[in-house]
Amino acid sequence: MTNEFINFEKISRLRWQDLHQTTTPLLTEEELENIKSLNDKINIQDVIDIYLPLISLIQIYKHHQENLAFSKGIFLQKDVGKRPFIIGVSGSVAVGKSTTSRLLQLLLTRTYKHSKVEMVTTDGFLYPNKVLTERNILNKKGFPESYNMELLINFLDAMKSGAEASIPVYSHEIYDIVPNKQQTLSAPDFLIVEGINVFQNPQNERLYMSDYFDFSIYIDADSKHIENWYLERFKALLDLAKMDTTNYYHRFTEWSADEALAFAKNIWKSINLVNLEKYIEPTRNRAELILHKSEDHKIDEIYLKK
């Protein structure tokens, strides 16, 4: 074990799946197909082995959060009010954060039948392309400076206070913030916040996004594997964009396959890998739980903070 995981308990997949005895997956194969990302290779067995024990663990943290809020209220002699249980999900581009987040959303909805489970992606807090271009950082999209962190922290603060909040919406089809479109959230019971930057806050070192999380997950994998998944996803996006001229990826479908692949490899090496090594991976020890994936997308090791 590297020094970075010094404060974590390492659990094998085999031991992890034994921690939860239920074998009813809470969702169907078809539902799983609908929520998984383009090239993610997850199946019902993974849900049973990995995600059902994870839901059991989240229930423990949720119970602890409620007890703590209740005890704080007694100490402060006031009603602290209902607050959402906030889960942060981080990891590299193309590592499978979206699939994990959507799956958690569905499983929590099934587990807590009368609860509202919302999900947001921090892509919505990227500055619009126009602003990135003006600041000459369009090629640094996804890097810490490309996010409106003040807006993001204010949003999390509003959610923790039980207030309503509206946030921008990002579209991968147009590769930009969607003009005049907002996602409004009002007093969810659970809020899943997914993004490469959820453990970072470079503009204000005194306040981290993770300060707002009740539970957090980092999805980890060897960068060589993630590169392959990124390139697979790029090819899948091109297939989807072939007939759609409004899609950002359509322009690459007019290139030769070799040219498009060379372009994607360069983007990975010069942007995504740099971002991963410099800003994303160094924050993984802020997570409560690290899910490590092997070459075939399968989670083979779990690290739980001691």
Q: Which residues are annotated as a binding site?
A: 91-98
Tell me how far apart the alpha carbons of residues 25 and 48 are, in angstroms, rounded to a whole number: 6
Q: Read off the tokens for 88.
A: 């942060």
4 CB neighbour count, 10 Å cutoff: 13
Q: Which of 100, 130, 294 is nearest to 194 (CA)?
A: 100
Within 13 A of 92's CA, how many CA atoms are on the CB side? 28
Question: Which residues are annotated as part of the binding site for ATP?
Answer: 91-98
Compute CA 227 distance to the chain's CA centroid, rounded to the nearest angstrom: 18
Pairing of strands 164-171, 215-221: unpaired
Residue 111 to residue 75: CA distance in whole angstroms: 31
With contact defined as beta carbons under 8 Å apart, do 223 and 149 qualify?
Answer: no
How are beta strands 8-12 and 85-91 bridged, if at all?
unpaired
- Cα gap 52→25, rounded to integer Å: 7
Q: Which of 226, 160, 197 is nearest to 286 (CA)?
A: 197
Contacts of 212 (CB under 8 A, 6+ apart): 86, 156, 157, 159, 160
- Between strands 299-305 and 8-12, the pairing is antiparallel
| Two structure tokens written together for 21 | 């005895």
